[in-house]
Amino acid sequence: MFWYTVLIAAVGLERLAELIVSKRNLVWSLARGGVESGFGHYPAMVVLHSGLLAGCLLEAAALHRPFLPVLGWLMVAVVAAAQGLRWWCITVLGHQWNTRVVVVPGARRVEGGPYRFLRHPNYVAVIVEGIALPLVHSAWVTAVVFSLLNALLLRMRIRAENAALEDLVGA
């Protein structure tokens, strides 16, 4: 359980790094006339993602979920791959990446990197991580609950994002 706690803490620190990048990009976007859309779902997203981290630890500890080596190590690899995909998205989008839906009028739509293959690759990373991170320590209830709530949230988020992206050049 100690190493699982370290993993969850590392993912939490990664989330803080994302928020720092996001804040920097928000300032950049707003200075260029960026417009935020879909703000209403953002607080729920923050709570849900924080709840994922807490749920992983609480379920594993309170319900004595075992670390099953074959499942656990496979899920660690999947979590690492999801992080890689997430940071690939962040890198490719540059200043246009944000945890919020913010679009700078007249900006070009990014179509390189993982966006060549998928319209919303960052959400693939979120979905995969939301399943894999709890399963590292057999916290299947957290994986299921997060996945269901995340599906509802992503439905709203993707609608807001698609509507906002329609205004980009090359959309």
Q: What is the CATH code for 2-165?
A: 1.20.120.1630
Looking at residue 1, its pLDDT comes to 92
Where exactly are the structural domains of the chain? 2-165
Residue closest to 90 by CA, chosen among 156, 13, 25: 25
Write the pLDDT tens digit of every residue in 142-158: 999 999 999 999 999 99
Token duo for residue 82? 């999801």
Write the pLDDT tens digit of every residue in 120-138: 999 999 999 999 999 999 9
Burial of 143 (0-12, 13-18, 19+ CB in 10 A): buried
* Whole-angstrom distance, CA of residue 157 vs CA of residue 136: 27
Looking at residue 166, its pLDDT comes to 84
Residue closest to 131 by CA, chosen among 123, 139, 119: 139
pTM for the model stands at 0.92
Burial of 151 (0-12, 13-18, 19+ CB in 10 A): exposed
Question: Once rounded to an integer, what is the mean pLDDT over residues 56-85?
Answer: 98
* Whole-angstrom distance, CA of residue 168 vs CA of residue 108: 6
Token duo for residue 21? 């990048």
Looking at residue 170, its pLDDT comes to 59
* Whole-angstrom distance, CA of residue 154 vs CA of residue 135: 21
